[in-house]
Every structure is written in structure tokens, then in C-alpha cells.
């Protein structure tokens, strides 16, 4: 009870002081002098409109969600498969580099990194490209040569038109 009286006295005193100081905003004075219970009563609760869906709409949404989930799972499986393939290629390249330069680790590292960059480049070319297939057949684990030969063939093809 004492707290309520003290609070009311404080609000009234604060309101009186502010209004006597020549505050420029009556709204500010109203906001300061109003009690918390008055503020609650002044606000309105928003209404929520219920959305009713037909069974067909619900079924269509469920079907779309299922298709989206399957699509995402398929994409994730493809990414995993590609990552595994990339890891296998890197391991083969490392083994080749160790055979070619057994005690030269910086050359091994450089060669593997260059090959992986060119491997990524060759992956961007459609698999049904005849020139790409020929490059892969002739140099199965030498992606730098594949890239070089492929680009040379494409340029020559353009010049022959």
C-alpha cells in the first residue's frame, strides 16, 4: 500500500514539475502522468483471423513439402557423392606426385593443387562433349594436359569454321 501511494505521489510530483517547467509536448505529460494500468487499458489486442484450408489444399501443400524434401535429399546425396569422388581423385594425384617427386614435397603440393584446379575446370565441361571424352581417354589422371589439349582443340575448331 505504501509503495502504491509513493508511486502515485512520485508520478503526480513528476507531472507537476514537468508541466511547471514549460514542457512543449502535452502528449509527453500525458504519457508520464498516466499509470501503467491506464496504458494497458488503452491498448487493443489485435484480432487473429483463422485461415481454413480445404483438404485438397492441405494435400497439395503436403505433396509440395514432400517433393521439396526429396529434392533436397537428392541434391545432398549428389554433393556427397561428388565430394567422395573429388577426394578419390586428390588421393590418386597425391600418390602420383609421390612417385614422380619422392623427396620434393613442395613440387608435390604445387602439382596436386594445379591438377585439382584443372580437374575442377574439366568438371564444368558437359560430359557429352566428344573432345572432353578424348582428352579424358588419352590423359586419365593429367587434368592440366586435358585442359590444355581441350582448349587447343576448341580454338582450332573455331578457326576451321
Q: What is the pTM of this model?
A: 0.58
CB 112 within 8 A of CB 89: no
pLDDT per residue of the chain (161 residues) written in tens, 0 to 9? 555 554 554 555 555 455 555 544 444 444 444 455 555 555 666 666 777 889 898 999 999 999 999 999 999 999 999 999 999 999 999 999 999 999 999 999 999 999 999 999 999 999 899 999 999 999 999 999 999 999 999 999 999 99
**Are 132 and 150 in contact, with CB atoms under 8 Å apart?**
yes
What's the rounded Cα separation, in Å, for the pair 115 and 78?
22
Amino acid at each position: 500500500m505504501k509503495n502504491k501511494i509513493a508511486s502515485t505521489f512520485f508520478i503526480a510530483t513528476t507531472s507537476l514539475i514537468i508541466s511547471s517547467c514549460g514542457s512543449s509536448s502535452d502528449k509527453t505529460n500525458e504519457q508520464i502522468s498516466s499509470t501503467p494500468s491506464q496504458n494497458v487499458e488503452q491498448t487493443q489486442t489485435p484480432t487473429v483471423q483463422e485461415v481454413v484450408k480445404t483438404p485438397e489444399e492441405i494435400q497439395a501443400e503436403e505433396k509440395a513439402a514432400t517433393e521439396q524434401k526429396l529434392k533436397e535429399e537428392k541434391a545432398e546425396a549428389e554433393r556427397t557423392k561428388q565430394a567422395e569422388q573429388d577426394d578419390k581423385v586428390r588421393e590418386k594425384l597425391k600418390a602420383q606426385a609421390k612417385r614422380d617427386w619422392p623427396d620434393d614435397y613442395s613440387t608435390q603440393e604445387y602439382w596436386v593443387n594445379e591438377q585439382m584446379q584443372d580437374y575442377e575446370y574439366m568438371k564444368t565441361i558437359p560430359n557429352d562433349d566428344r573432345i572432353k571424352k578424348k582428352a579424358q581417354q588419352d590423359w586419365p589422371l593429367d587434368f592440366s594436359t586435358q585442359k590444355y589439349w581441350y582448349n587447343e582443340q576448341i580454338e582450332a575448331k573455331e578457326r576451321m569454321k
